[in-house]
Structures are given as structure tokens and as C-alpha cells.
Structure 1
Amino acid sequence: MAMEKTLNVLVIGGNRYVGKRLLARLLAQGHRVTVLNRGSSPPPPGVEHLRADRDDERSLTDALGTRVFDVVVDQVCYTPRQAAIARRVFTGRTRRYVMTSTVEVYEYEDSAALVREEAVDPSTVTVDPGLPWGDPTFLEAHYGEGKRQAEAVLAAGPGFGSTVVRVAHVLGGDDDFTGRLAHYAERIRTGEPIAVPTANRPATYVYVEEIASCLAWAAGEDFTGPVNAASSGTLSTEELCAAVAAHVPGGRAEFRHVEVGEISPFSFRRSYGMDNARAARLGFTFGEARQWLPRAVAETLGKGG
């Protein structure tokens, strides 16, 4: 078997959750790894650490110095402004750029069928850098649009090849900081109803260990364009809650269906299902969501796995 090529990889952000697992995999594969962030926490041994504000172009160029990389994996690109800075700074510094994107780019593609990558072509997305992307409230409300426009900026023009990995909702790990499964566990424990839409749609998900492996794989490949990253099979809110209830003594989920108003995490008024066939054709095969779901829930709720 031929030895895999050793790469010089820069990871922007990503010192927790998916990111720390990605770093571990890149190191295990023998790559030279550098992480760049604002210095909130140190990377693992063996990883070079650069400190910079990725929103500040001068800060970024000063931190990088004369360094060049085979590939950059950007875990924290949320806006077209950030993507434009990245394109300017890394043109001539890398041959390949991998951006972690999201299923939320498909927020306008409401279909019962699993959505394919071509449903959102970055080359056709209108970019508006004049929107208030620096306003956290605006950015939170326009998360999918920010990612969609960032994808478009990275895809435009020469400089380096780019791919965007559109990540499904991530589950698993004892360090899941979102609190979404804990939300369900608390309501099941107290008997409080879980608010879901009257028409509650399923979604695709991905196991935290699986998406870390997918990103490490994407870093070592040469394909460009978007690729969906989701485990096979959709899950409903009811299935998630059943898996959570298995760890709550005597627990049973009660649901309250609402037409309008606030709903629980992982309940959806529209479908969020992604087709993962392109990833399989390119060489990465995802597992079945129902197979890893019990383990993922057990990890997050601190019950082992």
C-alpha cells in the first residue's frame, strides 16, 4: 500500500468539539498541523499555535508571516466579509481551502426529498458585504445566509481550489456544548411537554466522530465544490426523544403541538434532509444514524457509551 502524503495543514478555529477531534485525526495521519485562533485555549501537543483575529486582515497576515500550507480548514467562517479576507490572505499561501459550512444553506429548499448539493450553487448566490455582518444579533438571525454568501466568495475567482463541507446537525460526545439533548432530558425528567410544530419534519444528523473524520478526509482530497456531510437516514424529534428517554428513569416524552411560536431544538417546520451520495462517490461513506444514535445520546448525557 502506498504511503499517504504528509500535508502541511492549517486549521482556523476549532479547538473544541468537532475541531479538537479533527486536530487529533490530522496528527494521527502524520500531517504537520497548525491551528490559528484568538488564543482562548491551547491546542494539543504537536500542533503549532498561531494567535490572530481572523476578522482583522493585518492581524492575520502578521501571525502567518511567510508560512504557506497545502490546505487550510476553516472551521469559523460565517460571513462573506470573513471569506473575502481569507481569499485575499491565503491566495498564494495554499493550494486548497476547505470551509466548514452547514445544512442551513438549504433553508429555502423545503422538500420531502433529500436535498443534493446542486440545489444551492455558490456561483449563483448574490453576495452583499454591506449587510451588518458584524452585528451578532443579525448574524445569528441570518446564519444560513451568512454561510451561503461565504461559500460564494470562496468559490469565486482564482487563487486556490475550494470546497465547502455542508454539515448536518451534529450529535454525540461528552463535550457537546449546545445543551439541546439536555433540554429534552430535563423536560422528560420533569414531565414538561416538548413543543414541536404541528407538522414536524425529520432531519439528517451526523455523529461528532464521523464529521471529524469527514473533514480530515476532505483536507487530503482534491475535489472542489460543495459536499453534503450527513449520516444516512433521517431522524424525527420523536426518535431523538425516545433515545433520550431511555436514560431517564421512568421517562416518557410528552409533546405539545403548536402552530406558531417557539419550538424545541431539533424540531422543524421544514425538512432538513441532505443527500450524501456525492461524498460516497468521492470516497467517504457515512454510517447509519440509527446505529450510532444510542451511543451519541449516552455520551452527551454522561451515561457512557
Structure 2
Amino acid sequence: MQRICVIGGSRYFGKLLVKRLLAAGYRVTVLNRGSTPPPVGVEHLVADRNDEAALTAALGSRTFDVVVDQVCYTPVQAAIVARAFAGRTRRYVMTSTIEVYDPATAALPAVPAGTPVPEEVVDPATWLVATDLPWHDEAYLEAHYAEGKRQAEAVFTRSGSFEFASVRSAHVLGGGAQEFTGRLAHYAECIARGREITVHAKALPTVFIHYEELADLLMWASTVGFTGPVNACSDGSLDVHGLAAIIATQAGREPHYRTVRAGEEASPFSVDRHYAMSNARGWELGFSFSRTTDWLPGAIAEAFTTEPSPTT
């Protein structure tokens, strides 16, 4: 029986991943700061991942077949756990993000608009790592979220202590109140109440994934042997107008748009830069993706019963 350690795993698709690993017969350990206990049958280790001594003490003599890291945001965090798990696991899977491809956050190779972005656009094996930046500062980290993820991938890739894979997730939707960003609920409320949606003059497509599909993909990534990054997105991209149109059909209301000026912030999922991902590598490795338009109506129905987040 394989032993799998999930770092984080207390909410949304991470919580679902833990439940599915347990149901599939794996011996599951969850490591977090202790705010939320895991399901019955899951070993719980309490430690702050940023405290290397406390983390090492909590791990004790334990070893694992696989570690799935849901909450790694900086190269400093990556370096700490890479040292702590050296010799303790044969495989390490990190949850990363579509934002690593955002051309507004780094000098990246150009990808023609309309061409889905492949994994090799951001190569962690060659990415510059700077652990002396103020990664501990919350404001800095929020402003440099994409770069923190790129550098964390780079640290793990070069550690040499285990085989490493990163799962670069698209925008995650579904689950109603579990979808903690509240973005889909925000759109549902705007359209249902006739409020305006702010959009770019030329809004470009982006990609999405259902939270259950992402949990399935992370479990799959834990049990197969590929290394390097893999993009995680359902088939079919949507721009903000396409997304709003599907919501509007279910609401029985017309969406109202306002075009933002240059430099003005638009509603979530309205993007003016091309970085919609390709999932071709995932297909080639053997994962079968769903179509966004197949699960999106159900996710929208859940969102209509959810209060939007005050931060959206």
C-alpha cells in the first residue's frame, strides 16, 4: 500500500484529493498548521512548513512514496521542504498555476495569439532562482505570485532528491461555496441583478478546470511516472463574453458590460494577454480531460446559491 503525504489539503480540491486518495486505499498523511483536521483514517501532522526544524521534527522517521504539495508559493518554501523530504520520498508533485505563463509577469517566449501555450514556454530547469528577495512579505508575495511559483518549480526541479512533477492548474471552478475565490458567484450575482461586468476592449480567451477534475488529475499525477510540468485544463477555452453568455442563459437575464480604459482593472477572467494553456501533454501522458462546456452549467447552478466573496 502506497504512502502519500499531502501538504495543505484542508480545503477545496486539496480536501477532495485527500478523500479520494483515502477511498482508493492509499495510506494518507496530511501535513498543515492544524487549523482543519483531516478525515477519519488520515494521519495528521501539525507543523509550519516555513519552520524547517519544526517540519523535520514533525516528520520524524516517516517516509512516503509520494508527496503532493498544495501550498508552495516561493523558492524559499520549496528549498525548505526539498531538504526536509530528501531521502523520505521518491516522488514530489507540486500544484502550480496558469499564471506562470502570464507575459505581464516575466519576459517569456512569444506564443502567437490563438495558439495554446505549451509547458516548454516556462522551463523550470533553466529559470533563475533568487531566494534573497522579500518572499516573507505578504504584499510582495501577492504582487509576485506567478514568479514565486516559477521559482519554486525551479528549486524542486534542481533538487535531485526525488522525481519531480508540477501540475499547472487553470482557473478552478465548481463546488459552490467551496470555490473560495467567489469569482463564479460574483458573475452569477452581477448578471442576475443587472450589474455591470467590466471587460477589456479586446478580451482574450482563458482556460478552466473543474475542482473535481483537478483532484483526479493530482491523484493521477501521484501514481504515474512523468516528470516536469503538465498543464491542467479542460478542453475548450472561453473569453469573458462566452462565460457570461452561458451564465446569462441560466439566469434568464442579459449581461451588461462596461469596457475599461487602458490600465484599469477588469472583472475576473477578462484578460488582455494571451496565455491560455495547451493540455496536449496531459492527453499524451494518458489523462482524459473533460470539456469545459460539459461541466460549466452545473458549476454555474451551484454558484447561483452561493454568496460571492467580498474580495471579488
**Is this contact kept in 2: 1:8–1:69, CA < 8 A?**
yes
Equivalent residue number for residue 186 of structure 2 = 183
Q: Distance in 1 between matches of 2:230 and 2:152?
A: 15
Q: Distance in 1 between matches of 2:193 and 2:221?
A: 43
Cα distance, 1:257 vs. partner? 1.0
Q: Distance in 2 between matches of 1:18 and 1:83?
A: 21
Q: Distance in 1 between matches of 2:14 and 2:160?
A: 28
- Pick one of 12, 28, 31 that aligns with 1:36: 31
Instruction: Within 5 Å, give how 1:16-165 maps onto structure 2.
Output: 16-108=11-103, 109=108, 111=111, 112=113, 113-165=115-167
Instruction: Within 5 Å, give how 1:174-213 maps onto structure 2.
Output: 174=176, 175-213=178-216
Q: Distance in 1 between matches of 2:304 and 2:11?
A: 18
Q: Distance in 1 between matches of 2:54 and 2:29?
A: 16
- Pick one of 210, 217, 222 that aligns with 1:219: 222
Give the % identical residues: 57
Instruction: Within 5 Å, give how 1:220-299 maps onto structure 2.
Output: 220-248=223-251, 250-260=252-262, 261-299=264-302
TM score, norm. by length of structure 2: 0.92
Q: Distance in 1 between matches of 2:89 and 2:98?
A: 26
TM score, norm. by length of structure 1: 0.94
SS for the counterpart of 1:203 is coil
- 5+ unaligned residues in a row in structure 1: which ranges? 1-5
Q: What residue identity is the alignment partner of 2:116?
A: L
Q: Distance in 1 between matches of 2:283 and 2:245?
A: 29
Q: What residue identity is the alignment partner of 1:264?
A: S
Cα distance, 1:247 vs. partner? 4.2
Equivalent residue number for residue 171 of structure 1 = 173
Aligned length: 297
Q: Deviations over 1:270-293 (max 9, x none)?
A: 123111111111110101111111
Cα distance, 1:190 vs. partner? 2.9
Higher mean C-alpha deviation, range 130-139 or range 237-246: 237-246
CA RMSD for the aligned pairs? Answer: 1.3
Q: What residue identity is the alignment partner of 2:162?
A: F
